[in-house]
Amino acid sequence: MAANRAFRVFEGGKFGVGRFADMADGELDAGNVVIRSLFASVNYKDALTALGKAKIVTRFPCTAGIDVCGEVSESADPRFKPGDRVIAHGFGIGADHDGGYQAVNRFPADWLVKVPDGPDAALTPFETAAIGVAGYTAALSVDLMELNGLAPGKGRVLVNGATGGAASVAIDLLAGRGYEVVALSGKPEAADYLRALGAAEVIDRKSYEFGTRPLEKPMWQGAVDSVGGEQLAWLARSMQNDGVIAAFGNAGGIEFKGSVLPYILRGVRLIGVNANSPMPLRSRIWQRLAGDLRPRHLDRIARRIRFADLPQAFDDLIAAKAVGRMVVDFSLG
């Protein structure tokens, strides 16, 4: 790979056009910490960005990639020294600051979290990137749902868009904490994968009868939704009393309709989850991801791809063909 090979989004089309490009020496965004990229994950949002399918990039050109795990090579901030491993996500990374698909990058120190490396809570750089924004969002969802009453033994938890990156980690985390997880997926052929992550039951979205009543039979104490649209509306209608929904995605649409009845008659709580957390929360969730919320099946969920494989990965994500997570391994060239 050339010195600073990147996958960048250039002006063109409706929302930009993505392609590989070599960046000039020193062509790095503002910041006081330079990192050498080790791994960067591939997310649904990255596919939208790279294929110019949504208005995500706010300046051209901009390197895509909403997260990156790397090793510090230069630091003007006393909190970081060469050799430290860090994860960066949020703060406009991959939208208005060059993102993860770039061999060398520069970020403000305030955006960086050290990869947990304690005696009781540690992650490898690959595990960190395999978790990435998607797994972070899943963990934040579980954290917020439990703060709102979710507890093992109170009922089943539905995970929607189940084979997706964030959803796969959510299944793993919830099953690991003793929840009875039901996976709702448009890929019935992936049922064995979902069961291996810990799903007790797998529902086929294509043949399931979702109903249209304002209140359906109460089935779930919790739900993790990466899909949005009509699916989110159905979830609200089918929650148990005081059920909690963590909603963070729009893979199935951005609008949903419904009545207030689930909220005022069943006390359903709809929690929005935004992964761009303030730093204290971010640090706490990453520590949990290395400790009590550590995923058990990352090797099954995530696979390494070459940098050159990014375009195929984007196509697979948009076509909803991908299962689990894909992680660019910069050492593969």
Ligand X SMILES: NC(=O)c1ccc[n+]([C@@H]2O[C@H](COP(=O)([O-])OP(=O)(O)OC[C@H]3O[C@@H](n4cnc5c(N)ncnc54)[C@H](OP(=O)(O)O)[C@@H]3O)[C@@H](O)[C@H]2O)c1
326 belongs to the binding site for ligand X (CB under 6 A)? no
Q: Which is nearer to ligand X, 94 or 161 (CB)?
A: 161
- Near ligand X by CB under 6 A: residue from 4, 37, 43, 49: 43
141 belongs to the binding site for ligand X (CB under 6 A)? no
- Near ligand X by CB under 6 A: residue from 166, 170, 223, 268: 166
227 belongs to the binding site for ligand X (CB under 6 A)? yes
187 belongs to the binding site for ligand X (CB under 6 A)? yes
DSSP one-letter string for 249-276: --TT-S-----SHHHHHS--EEEE--S-
182 belongs to the binding site for ligand X (CB under 6 A)? no
Phi, psi values for residue 332, rounded to 5°: -80, -5
Instruction: Point out the residue whose Cβ comes nearest to ligand X.
Output: 164
Q: Which is nearer to ligand X, 37 or 163 (CB)?
A: 163
- Near ligand X by CB under 6 A: residue from 61, 100, 165, 262: 165
The answer to whether the CB of 269 falls within 8 A of the CB of 243 is yes
Q: How many residues bind ligand X (CB under 6 A)?
A: 30
The answer to whether the CB of 326 falls within 8 A of the CB of 303 is yes
- Near ligand X by CB under 6 A: residue from 28, 109, 196, 320: 320
Q: Which is nearer to ligand X, 34 or 199 (CB)?
A: 199
Shortest approach of ligand X to residue 43 CB, angstroms? 4
Nearest to 125 by CA among 40, 54, 61, 241: 40
- Near ligand X by CB under 6 A: residue from 125, 155, 249, 295: 249
Nearest to 37 by CA among 59, 17, 65: 65
DSSP 8-state secondary structure symbol assigned to residue 149: T
Q: Which is nearer to ligand X, 104 or 323 (CB)?
A: 323
Shortest approach of ligand X to residue 147 CB, angstroms? 17
Helices (DSSP H) in the chain: which residue ranges?
A: 44-50, 125-147, 165-176, 191-197, 229-237, 261-265, 279-290, 298-301, 310-318
Shortest approach of ligand X to residue 51 CB, angstroms? 13
295 belongs to the binding site for ligand X (CB under 6 A)? no
250 belongs to the binding site for ligand X (CB under 6 A)? yes
Shortest approach of ligand X to residue 133 CB, angstroms? 5
- Characterize 215-247 residue by residue with b for buried, 16 or more Cβ atoms within 10 angstroms of its Cβ, and e for exposed: bbebbbbbbbbbbbbebbbbbbbbbbeebbbbb
Nearest to 134 by CA among 7, 324, 332, 321: 324
Count of alpha carbons within 13 Å of 189, Cβ hemisphere only? 3
DSSP 8-state secondary structure symbol assigned to residue 36: E
Site for ligand X, rule CB under 6 A: 43-45, 133-134, 137, 161-167, 185-187, 205, 226-227, 248-252, 273-275, 317, 320, 322
